[in-house]
A = this chain, B = another copy of it.
């Protein structure tokens, strides 16, 4: 039971960034989104990826490959909008 809870938790926090990426691509609206959050988050996820590769932990590698792509999409749109509105 405990392991199942952990797996569902991991799946949810990993997949949660997908709807944000889809919404951002669709609407291009990044008004309420924090640039600082996404800079820190993307850096953190990329470091998780490096850590996962170094300790050869597949769940860490897979989860962070996926989420860092979604988070990077949001970050790129946010930066694009900031540059456009300068």
Interface residues of A (CB under 8 A from B): 2, 5-6, 8-20, 22-24, 27, 29-34, 36-38, 40-41, 43-45, 47-48, 50-51, 54-55
Contact = CB atoms under 8 A, between A and B. Distances in A.
A38 B13 CA distance: 10
A55 to B, nearest CB: 6
Q: From DSSP, what is the main secondary structure of chain A's interface residues?
A: helix
Nearest to A43: B12
A20 to B, nearest CB: 4
Contact of A19 (B6, B34, B50): B34
Nearest to A38: B16
A40 B19 contact: yes
